[in-house]
Amino acid sequence: MAKDNSKNDTKKAPKKEGSYGADEISVLEGLEPVRKRPGMYIGSTGPDGLHHLIWEIFDNSRDEAMGGFCDRIEVTILPGDTVRVVDNGRGIPVDIHSKTKVSALETVMTTLHAGGKFGGEGSGYKVSGGLHGVGASVVNALSIYTKAEIHRDGGKFIQEYSQGKKKANVKKIGSSKLHGTIITFKPDAEIFKEGTTFNWNTIVGHLRQQAYLVKGLKITIIDAREIDPKVLLGGKGMESLDEVFYFSEMNLEVPSYSFYFEGGLVSLVAFYNKGQKAVQDTIFYVEKEVDGVGVEVALQYIDDISTKIVPFANNIYNPEGGTHVTGFKTALTRLLNTYGKKNNFIKESDGGFTGDDVLEGLTAVISVKLREIQFEGQTKAKLGSMEAQGATATAFGDAFASFLEENPDEAKQIVNKAILAVRARKAAKAAKDSILRKGALEGMTLPGKLADCQTKNAEESEVFIVEGDSAGGTAKTGRDRRTQAILPLRGKILNIERARLDKMLASEQIKNLVIAMGTAIGDTFDISKLRYHKIIIATDADVDGAHIRTLILTLLYRYFKPIIDGGYIYIAQPPLYKIKKGKEIMYAYSDEERDKFIGKDGPSLEELLSQSEEDEIEAENTDEPASAKASTGEGKAKTAKIHIQRYKGLGEMNAEELWETTMDPARRILKQVNIDDAVEADKVFDMLMGSDVAPRKSFIQTHAKMAEIDI
């Protein structure tokens, strides 16, 4: 638990000259389409879209900070899936808007594309999230309850809404010496049918990242969901939130984080590379404006083969990159080629570096700020503004060229890293070509271990990756031969986290898997040639099975990420128990299901395991034999023997059991693998599967008590 006891007088927040009144609020269109098609505005109505509501409100406050009008933002998760976002900015204007003839606050909160971000030189913001940052009005439309509380011009003003419609006009409820905006909202369960529960780690991770991007901004996140609102507010109801500006000044005993980074992007790169061996000790950094585009780049090479490029445009994370990333990569490749040839590091016969060569082991954060910004898509995943490409290439190129000249030792290390990548690329290509030629010439297009399905339609085909020949044999017998293929793996595959492609393809197990999927690998990867649209990992429910599953997922994440992104990877969920209760048989996939079937008045597992043979135990070929008598009814007791079989592996099932529980599409349970946070996923794979022991040891020690160990 982290507590923030610091005080920050909201009256002393930095303020810059700049008009921000009702006439700076421009109106483009109405609000009704949002509830009809919410996915167009927030991406989805699942967990990602739910959290996007917080980002939209936070982004408005962050834009105030980027303009120099705010230095503190607080986000609190309140009971009942309610969120409260506070900033000490100028406060949304409350005077009458000349076009809408209602309060500017009401205009902002109830009209789509209304805000201080769409005008020209005299508008409220120089830089913001852009036209797709539709902000407060969309959050309002998708919330069952919203309240805006404004502190400005010596007064305190509020307005409440439901599903985007105002409950009453803006009213002044008192005087205030503070300035800022407080938005409180509760997502509408009618829209978010998957649930309205916010993920604490998702919020902390996103807002920590934002703190790195705005120097001098303090961001506090508080999880107050477990506190009774009446206790929280001195016995008063939720309406008493009006009496509180910052919860962080109340010293609440709740989970809390505060982030403040003077180092900006340099601190963020250092955070990403924590625990890694650096190739260059000095983190390169440049901040420069070119043709009205602000460019910031920080980078560092580490002793690794993966690449991490994290791009932002107006502080919006762009997971799909965009023009700024293109400009950066072009300049980086050109500069290292020029430097390498000029200093005779690169031989003419080598042919120079490719883009992939110079990216190996690179961690880079790119942040651009534009006044007029264009994204490809509503969720701002990819920057489309063409001026960002040239500006990034120029600003980064000039500064990085100087860095290489001024730091010859570090420059040599970087170039040598790229030279090593060139050699590995050529060796990997030779190994890959050899494998593909061998497959074509010898008629071994598919591995001999693979029991393929009959259909050639990838959309209805699925392959089960199973552990060992025993499980493979059972699965081959029990499968639907028309649509289901079986590929058994022998033992644990190579950990590819630190292995190059040539070494990887020398592994028989990995080679079999690559050929079976049909997509090829590396620069010849083609997802359209994927032979199965369901790739199902079916390993045993023990430690070894979990390790093999992790090794396979590491391979897929590093070399076949588009297959994961496409939703083609699944994890099978075989049952943990087979239970016979009299003549009735059921399979339990969890301890809870097992206990429910036995019945609350029936014997517990401990009781079943403690019975003696005198109590008529009948054990079934298992390491957890158990049986008991359950008494039911009144008078003469009726007995029903209970037999529990604990499965440790798929090989313990016969073909019929495996089909019924794990392979039958009508009854099986599959978990689809997806990547909610690519940056966090990258860190986890690196920590768990990488060569550095210290972070892994720390993780194990921290989470040891959470482990469920089979003995």
pLDDT (tens digit per residue) in 491-521: 777 777 767 677 777 788 888 888 899 888 8
CA distance 242 to 505: 63
Give the amino acid at 580: K
Higher pLDDT, residue 688 or 419:
419
Check whether 439 has a pLDDT greater than 50: no
Q: What is the per-residue DSSP string for 115-184? A: BTTSSSTTSS-SS-S-TT--THHHHHHTEEEEEEEEEETTEEEEEEEETTEESS--EEEEE-S--EEEEE
471: burial class by Cβ within 10 Å (0-12, 13-18, 19+)? buried
Q: Which residue shows structure tokens 């997509």?
A: 519
Tell me, yes or no, if 544 is annotated catalytic.
yes
Structure-token pair, residue 489 = 């793996």
- What residues are paired with 534 via a beta bridge? 462
Confidence of residue 582 (pLDDT cuts 50, 70, 90): confident
CA distance 183 to 147: 6
Closest to 655 measured CA to CA, from 490, 481, 532, 516: 481
Range in 337-351, 491-505, 556-570, 621-635 the model is least confident about: 621-635
DSSP SS3 for 42: helix
pLDDT (tens digit per residue) in 205-254: 899 989 998 888 999 999 999 887 666 665 555 556 667 788 888 777 88
Which pLDDT score, from 0 to 100, does residue 232 have? 63
φ, ψ for residue 521, nearest 5 deg: -155, 160
* Secondary structure in 3-state letters for 210-278: HHHHCCCCEEEEEECCCCCHHHHCCCCCHHHHHHCCCHHHCCCCCCEEEECCCCCHHHHHHHHCCCCCE
Contact of 651 with 470, CB cutoff 8 Å = yes
Residue positions counted in the chain: 711
Give the amino acid at 131: L
Q: pTM of this prediction?
A: 0.63
Q: Which CATH class is domain 10-259?
A: alpha beta
Check whether 22 has a pLDDT greater than 80: no
Which pLDDT score, from 0 to 100, does residue 584 have? 80
Q: What percent of the chain has pLDDT over 70?
A: 76
Strands 362-369 and 308-313, bridge-based pairing: parallel
Confidence of residue 371 (pLDDT cuts 50, 70, 90): confident
Q: What CATH code is assigned to 446-574+670-706?
A: 3.40.50.670
Range in 70-79, 122-131, 406-415 the model is least confident about: 122-131
Check whether 407 has a pLDDT greater than 70: yes
Check whether 317 has a pLDDT greater than 90: no
pLDDT (tens digit per residue) in 657-682: 899 889 999 989 899 988 765 556 55
pLDDT (tens digit per residue) in 441-465: 344 467 878 999 999 999 999 999 9
CA distance 115 to 97: 11
Check whether 15 has a pLDDT greater than 60: no
φ, ψ for residue 516, nearest 5 deg: -65, -40
Structure-token pair, residue 550 = 């992790």
Check whether 386 has a pLDDT greater than 90: yes
CA distance 677 to 42: 17
Check whether 375 has a pLDDT greater than 90: no
Catalytic residue among 350, 542, 677, 692: 542
CA distance 404 to 442: 50
pLDDT (tens digit per residue) in 136-166: 999 999 999 999 999 999 999 999 999 999 9
Residues in CB range of 646: below 8 A, 6 or more apart: 576, 577, 622, 623, 624
Contact of 122 with 138, CB cutoff 8 Å = no
Give the amino acid at 245: F
Task: Indicate if the alpha-carbon torsion angle 321, 560, 533, 665 is positive or negative.
Answer: negative
Strands 82-87 and 256-259, bridge-based pairing: unpaired
pLDDT (tens digit per residue) in 600-626: 555 555 555 444 333 333 433 334 434
pLDDT (tens digit per residue) in 275-292: 788 998 899 999 999 999
Q: Which residue shows structure tokens 């010859």?
A: 408
CATH number of this structure's domain 265-425, picked from the four choices 3.30.450.20, 3.30.230.10, 3.30.56.10, 3.40.720.10? 3.30.230.10
Catalytic residue among 296, 467, 652, 660: 467
Which pLDDT score, from 0 to 100, does residue 27 have? 54
Closest to 489 measured CA to CA, from 523, 453, 455, 514: 514
Closest to 180 measured CA to CA, from 72, 261, 266: 72
Check whether 380 has a pLDDT greater than 90: no
Tell me, yes or no, if 540 is annotated catalytic.
yes
Task: Indicate if the alpha-carbon torsion angle 399, 405, 407, 412 is positive or negative.
Answer: positive
pLDDT (tens digit per residue) in 518-555: 888 877 788 999 999 999 999 887 778 888 888 888 88
Structure-token pair, residue 686 = 């690196």
Terminal Cα distance for the chain, rounded: 33
Tell me, yes or no, if 542 is annotated catalytic.
yes
Which pLDDT score, from 0 to 100, does residue 608 have? 52
Which pLDDT score, from 0 to 100, does residue 328 have? 96
Catalytic residue among 63, 64, 357, 540: 540
Q: Which residue shows structure tokens 């639907």?
A: 480
Confidence of residue 707 (pLDDT cuts 50, 70, 90): low
Burial per residue of 609-632, b for 16 or more beta-carbon CB atoms within 10 angstroms, e otherwise: eebeeeeebeeeebebbbbbbbee
673: burial class by Cβ within 10 Å (0-12, 13-18, 19+)? middle
Catalytic residue among 242, 303, 356, 544: 544
Check whether 299 has a pLDDT greater than 80: yes
CA distance 198 to 50: 8
Mean residue pLDDT across the chain: 80
CA distance 339 to 345: 8
CA distance 172 to 177: 14
Q: What is the chain's alpha carbon radius of gyration, rounded to the nearest angstrom?
A: 30
Structure-token pair, residue 222 = 């508080």
CA distance 518 to 15: 60
Check whether 29 has a pLDDT greater than 60: no
pLDDT (tens digit per residue) in 56-110: 999 999 988 888 899 999 999 998 899 999 999 999 999 888 887 889 999 889 8
Range in 46-60, 195-209, 388-402, 640-654 the model is least confident about: 640-654
Ordered by start, the domain boundaries in the chain are 10-259, 265-425, 446-574+670-706, 577-646
